[in-house]
Amino acid sequence: MASIFVTGSADGLGQMAARLLVDAGHRVVLHARSAERAAEALSAVAGAEAAVIGDLSSIRSTCEVAEQVNRLGVFDAVIHNAGIGYRERGRGDTVDGLPAVFAVNTLAPYILTARIDKPRRLVYVSSGMHRGADADMTDLTWSERRWNGSSAYAESKLHDVILAFAVARLWPDVLSNALEPGWVATKMGGPGAPDDMDAAPRTQVWLATSGEPAALVSGQYFYHVQRRAAHPAASDLAIQQQLLAACARLSGVTFPA
């Protein structure tokens, strides 16, 4: 039995992955942005041990989520599933003055990775859209550019892959990988999404728990339990360092080398 923490598990793919993990006999801790959503998540995922609460669009709240997780012990795996999509209108600036897509999809996984006691495995949920993203790190918060929600989302999902690969390099004792679940009919993906909903959460679960040699790797990118090429920038040492430095500056949270 493994212990796994899943962010953004009140609904969608995070909740589906949590159910699969519980059904397989693992100890699962959920996450939701409010107490009401946490209660709904625990009701929906019978057998989950607990749910931590915190809005990942807030730097302070994200740090508090990490503290809650650490009080529950050291986990075997953390699945960074929480995210918001590109259909949001406008920047949706957070309490910290950041675009919500960047705050939730990029900065929150960085903070949680830095602040949660180091697990054995880290899994970052990205998107196939990351391949078309701009890898320039000079305007991560869209302060200089005209806002484009689709591009901002794609960039944030590229950041998740860069973070996964950077962690794999910096923490050789941790298996750190990223994946794309496919374009599926979740609240984020929309009703017309064509990909396989049943397959979508399974790569998360496999990377978090499997003892198969193919899953016991680090610094790789997957789609439906198969390796797939990622954006070349994700493996660029300079770009990795730029992202980590920017996230540290914006959040006030230093990444533990």
Catalytic residues: 153, 157
What is d(CA 118, CA 212) in angstroms, rounded to the nearest whole number?
22
Dihedral Cα 15, 109, 130, 134, nearest 10 deg: 160
d(CA 152, CA 135) in angstroms, rounded, equals 11
Q: How far apart are CA 165 and CA 161, in angstroms?
A: 6
CA torsion sign for 166, 95, 136, 13 is positive
- CA dist 209 → 55, 89, 96, 113, 197 (Å): 27, 37, 35, 18, 20
Tokens at residue 223, please? 């789609």
CA distances from 165 to 157, 169, 176, 195, 219 (A): 13, 6, 7, 26, 5
Q: What DSSP letter does each residue of 233-246 carry, written as one string?
A: GGG-HHHHHHHHHH
Dist. CA 189–CA 166, nearest whole Å: 27
Ramachandran angles phi, psi of 120, nearest 5°: -80, -30
Rg for the chain, CA atoms, rounded: 16
